[in-house]
Structure 1
Amino acid sequence: MIKDESRFPAPVYAETVLAPLFDGAKRHYRDHFQRVDRAHLVMLAETGVLDAATAAAIGGALVGIERDLDVEALTYTGEVEDFFFLIEAELKRRLGPDIAGRLHTGRSRNDIDHTLFKLALKGRIDALSAKARGLARSLLDTARRERATLIVAYTHGQPAQPTTFGHYLAAAIEVLLRDLARLQAARAIVDLCPMGAAAITTTGFPIARHRMAELLGFSAPLQNSYSCIAAVDYVTSTYAALELMMLHLGRLVQDLQFWSSFEVGQLYVPNAFVQISSIMPQKRNPVPIEHLRLLASHAMTRARSMLTVMHNTPFTDMNDSEGETQGQGYAAFDLAGRVLDLLSGLVAAVTIDGDKVRRNIDRSCITVTELADSLVRIEGLSFRQAHEIAAATAKAVVAARGSLAEAGFAPFGQAFAETCGRPSTVDEARFREIVSPEHFVAVRARFGGPAPEPLDKAFAGYDAVLDTFAANAATAADREKGASAMLDSCFDIVLKGQG
């Protein structure tokens, strides 16, 4: 490290800022910087900004640098400002300053940086989206398997109504699909290429921005050059989508934790996902659920920090959105990927304890809503009258510590007679049917309900959405694979002096 306080960079600046940025840039060079240099060279040759001989010389030097440079072994010395200037210095050493300096025609570190960041983000979004689709498939498989499996649905922490595990998971699937749609919408912004914006206003050279986007596998160039450098909404949209996905999955995880508690006990977590206490041998601790909550919270917090960094920044070129920030954001993707993988495995393995569900239904009278609804349909009562009769019935059953099916008919008959001044036409057998959880679910056959017909239609719709997401991902991957092959071919032409 340089020690001369009179020369740039000052040692403390080099140690605290430039050296960490240099280390971060090494990763981008290995993954994407070489592609950007090659694509820009091809474009300059194709547009005639560079003659064929000059382009071939620069191309050969780039190949030599790629072959000879041990990127992982590099450390920041302060001899050059950053990694970009290191590559330019290598070009000068091999070609001389005149030819070497021509590669930078019509571009800036500004458009290069945002292009590198977008290329890095696209790969991470694609990998995370694939994991999210995997989780959605796992949820959907389990929902189909458990489409008729009764559970207790809770509101405000208290038993509310019976439904099925399949119906519950379908709700989680719908949220996850919307989260995936938000992530894909963010990717569409990321997939617009900044190259050619140069510092912020493009250039007077006849560069081809659409060609650069094509060679690098972007869907199109981002149109406004000021926006290419200043907007950075590709950062905020991406991490906002990631934050929401983790927030929403965290709510699902909270339910899994609650349902697996001893007192509720309707969710059975198999031994493969259970840790035993080091001192209490009777304990079955579903610790992976806690880790899911922890990891989702960490991922969400990291994603939110990206939005916080962007808050109250100027609408212009700024360091706030660049290397340090981008590197921090990648950790959110790593954490989120772990959440999606672990939750996929857990959801596929858990089952519902039917006996515990049945006991909880019996103790809580949660089918009594259907008693009120049935009285409206069968006896022609207003819902308010029917609700009062059902409430009186439930109150008597709870006081007797019985179940609605076994102990509810007598108090029902009394409450009905007191309210209506006549006996009900519902006999005991019909009463038992009405208050059964199976009947409760079966009659809720409206759009979006838990009955088999609407639930199966919902499943088919989720399949179609997931198939569309997968097809779109395959199309993008094919386009980018084709762009990579095209760039290699065009670069070879430049190397041969035919550009």
Structure 2
Amino acid sequence: MKDNTDPRLRDNSVFPDPVYKETVLRPLFDGARTHHVEGFRAIDRAHLLMLAETGILPCEAAAEIARALIAIEQEIDPATLSYTGEVEDYFFLVEAELRKRLKPEDDGRLHTGRSRNDIDHTLFKLALKPRLDRLSQRLRAVIAAALTLAEREKATLIVAYTHGQPAQPSTLGHYLAAAIEVMLRDHQRLMQARELLDRCPMGAAAITTSGFPLDRHRVAHLLGFKAPLQNSYGCIAAVDYVTSVFSAVELVFLHLGRVIQDLQFWTAFEVGQIYVPNAFVQISSIMPQKRNPVPIEHLRHLSSQTMSRARMARDIVHNTPFTDMNDSEGETQEAGYQAFETGERVLDLLAALLPTLTVDSRRVAETIRRSCITITELADTLVRREGVPFRVAHEIASAVARAVVAKDGDLQRDGYEAFANAFRHAAGREPALSREDFALAVSPENFVALRERFGGPGPKALGAALAGYRTGLAAAEDAATAMAQREEAARQELNGAFAALAGAV
């Protein structure tokens, strides 16, 4: 006969189920004790101080709890803990340890006015902030290395490519300046994401704050946040801090991957315009002539790993409810931390590699000769000096390039006769441009020197740009220093106030 009684009345199972314990609870416990112990401790201290300062807890009870927290920190090494299932997670382990050390009337009072919801999101922000700071600092180191290289090589000619083909001469400094601009914008996106991390969820409790007179601003300050996050529902539901952080991280390495791919292409034997020193070159195990700049390959695939890990952490939030939920919490956060680990490796290696790179000017000169990539300036010169329409000038220049390439010649040395013939045919007269004028017009040095427009590779334009980037980088360093000093001052204030509370009679 079917038992129609309430299943809750006949449920004799005991938490936790062994499979649930091993597949969910143990990984979460291990993640918390590995990544979030310091955050738990700081939150407990700041919340306890606020409870005492607001009078929600009597000073004597708060002092007893403070001493119990100190004893737990001294007596229990999280690294040695193994999950047994006796408590649900690390938070409840601390709760259980407090219970052992406190009088019954003080048991659980630390948790007054707070919830696992606001604690968890505060924990995750506390864990993300130093990771984002380290990554940002390393990105600034790469920018600094790129700036130094750009300043050193601001007049060094390279071949700029479009669609995989030689296009125009430029300088390594001008190319790097473009990459630096992107990195500075990427750094700005990291800092914008950092601003979202600097709003504290504590005091939101489960959803709607509390009936207790909590001082949310005080807790935020003690924990090193700029301010509390205002809407209490958003504190536990709005995980745009997660999506913003990992979106910003993803873009850093997506964009760096393009520059790294250029380095791979430029170091290929057939191109060879960048030389990588022996310290960053591996040889083949069987082919002794090989020079393999393998670190660039590692930069490329580690950038891809970082980008993909960041995207994964962001995308997990897709189509989740706008509420407190596990999708954006412990295991997602822990998976996202791997993006920071690989990302730091990329940035450290790139900052070390960039200063060692040099341009093989012989290969650059040969590619310029073979590809006639200065011919654009011939067309421009004809418009300015000969007064012909640009489209006519373009046709003349095209004919010259075809003639020089056909005989594998040198445009400066061998192009004048082809130019004079093409000009007579198109313009119906002799050119005013002399052989010497022609050779200057199509020289790569002249090509670059003439391009002094804002953002161009000309010496003045590029020099001004690089100086501006230096100023921007210095401002970013100053802002990072000020932020670190503010948070260190808060940490010292928290520890000092907590020690005073613990010593209170």
Q: TM-score range by the shorter chain?
A: over 0.9
Letter of the aligned partner of 1:279 in structure 2? I
Deviations 1:202-226 (CA, angstroms, capped at 9, x unpaired): 1010000000010000011111111
1:77 to 65, 71, 84: 84
Report the equivalent of 1:181: 188
The CA RMSD measured in Å over matched residues stands at 1.0
SS at match of 1:284: coil
- What is the CA–CA distance in structure 2 between the aligned matches of 1:164 and 1:271, rounded to whole Å? 24
User: How far has the Cα of 1:493 moved from its partner?
Assistant: 2.4
Letter of the aligned partner of 1:45 in structure 2? A
Deviations 1:356-411 (CA, angstroms, capped at 9, x unpaired): 00000000000000000000000111110110110011111111110111111001
Q: Which runs of 4+ in 1 moved over 2 A?
A: 27-31
Report the equivalent of 1:228: 235
Report the equivalent of 1:323: 330
Is the 1:55–1:497 Cα contact (8 Å) retained in structure 2? no
Q: Does 1:444 align with 2:443?
A: no
Gap runs ≥5 in structure 1: none
- What is the CA–CA distance in structure 2 between the aligned matches of 1:153 and 1:43, rounded to whole Å? 61
User: How far has the Cα of 1:495 moved from its partner?
Assistant: 1.6
1:208 to 194, 206, 215: 215
TM superposition score normalised by structure 2: 0.97
Report the equivalent of 2:47: 40
SS at match of 2:159: strand
Letter of the aligned partner of 1:184 in structure 2? M
Q: 1:15 to 1:309 in 2, by over 3 A?
A: same
Report the equivalent of 2:4: none
- What is the CA–CA distance in structure 1 between the aligned matches of 2:353 and 2:503, rounded to whole Å? 55
Report the equivalent of 2:224: 217
SS at match of 2:166: strand
Is the 1:28–1:116 Cα contact (8 Å) retained in structure 2? no
Q: Does 1:110 align with 2:117?
A: yes
Residue correspondence of structure 1 range 47-66 to structure 2 within 5 A? 47-66=54-73
1:269 to 257, 271, 276: 276
Q: Does 1:484 align with 2:491?
A: yes
2:393 to 378, 386, 391: 386
SS at match of 2:160: strand
Report the equivalent of 1:99: 106
Is the 2:168–2:373 Cα contact (8 Å) retained in structure 1? yes
Residue correspondence of structure 1 range 257-296 to structure 2 within 5 A? 257-296=264-303
Letter of the aligned partner of 2:446 in structure 1? H
- What is the CA–CA distance in structure 1 between the aligned matches of 2:145 and 2:107, rounded to whole Å? 53
Residue correspondence of structure 1 range 341-490 to structure 2 within 5 A? 341-490=348-497
- What is the CA–CA distance in structure 2 between the aligned matches of 1:478 and 1:328, rounded to whole Å? 29
Letter of the aligned partner of 2:441 in structure 1? I
User: How far has the Cα of 1:29 moved from its partner?
Assistant: 4.3
Is the 2:424–2:431 Cα contact (8 Å) retained in structure 1? yes
- What is the CA–CA distance in structure 2 between the aligned matches of 1:255 and 1:212, rounded to whole Å? 48
SS at match of 1:425: coil
User: How far has the Cα of 1:90 moved from its partner?
Assistant: 0.6
Deviations 1:19-65 (CA, angstroms, capped at 9, x unpaired): 11001111244322111100000000000000111001111100111
Letter of the aligned partner of 1:406 in structure 2? R
* % same residue: 62
- What is the CA–CA distance in structure 2 between the aligned matches of 1:97 and 1:180, rounded to whole Å? 51
Report the equivalent of 1:314: 321
User: How far has the Cα of 1:6 moved from its partner?
Assistant: 1.2
Letter of the aligned partner of 1:348 in structure 2? P
- What is the CA–CA distance in structure 1 between the aligned matches of 2:104 and 2:144, rounded to whole Å? 56
- What is the CA–CA distance in structure 2 between the aligned matches of 1:166 and 1:226, rounded to whole Å? 50
- What is the CA–CA distance in structure 1 between the aligned matches of 2:299 and 2:474, rounded to whole Å? 27
- What is the CA–CA distance in structure 1 between the aligned matches of 2:134 and 2:335, rounded to whole Å? 18
Is the 1:91–1:100 Cα contact (8 Å) retained in structure 2? yes
1:31 to 16, 38, 55: 38
Report the more deviating stretch, 69-78 or 136-145.
Answer: 69-78
Is the 1:442–1:451 Cα contact (8 Å) retained in structure 2? yes
